[in-house]
């Protein structure tokens, strides 16, 4: 997906941490799908997704995903938005709250959805 390089575009990134045994899951988003496979421990940061002009109000709604993990495995998801194609001015990942599976991300501290 082409990225726009102007201040009128809205961008977001996903961040999640995978830990312990090998597993795979599918993260479902209203604008895209991300599939991660076979990791034991690590961090995956998605590509920046261009969601269009800030003038087009975005209502992100809920964020959910399917997973098949053992009781000793955890997944932490974070999401953030920025008006910049390079995420300049976005809140640092460490300051973003984790997203609870199935939660509405509208009020997440790192998301501005334009509504």
**Residue 68 forms part of a structural domain:** yes
Task: Quick: pLDDT tens for 63-79.
Answer: 888 887 778 888 888 88
What is the chain's length?
115
Average pLDDT over residues 76-101: 87
Whole-structure pTM value? 0.60
Residue 86 inside a domain? The answer is yes
Higher-confidence residue: 42 or 27?
42
Domain assignment present for residue 109? The answer is no
Q: Which of 53, 75, 54 is nearest to 63 (CA)?
A: 75
Averaged pLDDT, 45-51: 80
Residue 20 domain-assigned? yes
The domain tally of the chain equals 1
Residue 60 lies in a domain: yes
Q: Which domain holds residue 51?
A: 9-96
Cα gap 76→6, rounded to integer Å: 31
Q: Does residue 62 form part of some domain?
A: yes
Is the Cα torsion angle 70, 12, 31, 38 positive or negative in sign?
negative
Residue 24: inside a domain, yes or no?
A: yes
Confidence of residue 47 (pLDDT cuts 50, 70, 90): confident
Beta-bridged to residue 15, according to DSSP, are: 45, 78
Q: Answer whether residue 54 is part of any domain.
A: yes
Query: What confidence tens digit (pLDDT) does each residue in 52-67 have?
Result: 665 565 677 888 888 8
């Amino acid at each position: 997906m082409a990225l726009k390089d102007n201040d009128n575009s809205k961008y977001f990134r996903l961040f999640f941490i995978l830990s312990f045994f090998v597993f795979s899951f599918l993260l479902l988003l209203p604008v895209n799908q991300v599939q991660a496979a076979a990791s034991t421990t690590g961090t995956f940061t998605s590509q920046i997704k261009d969601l269009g002009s800030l003038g087009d109000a975005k209502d992100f709604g809920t964020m959910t995903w399917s997973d098949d993990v053992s009781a000793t495995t955890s997944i932490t998801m974070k999401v953030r938005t920025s008006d910049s194609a390079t995420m300049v001015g976005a809140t640092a990942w460490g300051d973003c709250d984790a997203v609870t599976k199935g939660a509405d991300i509208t009020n997440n501290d790192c998301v501005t959805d334009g509504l």
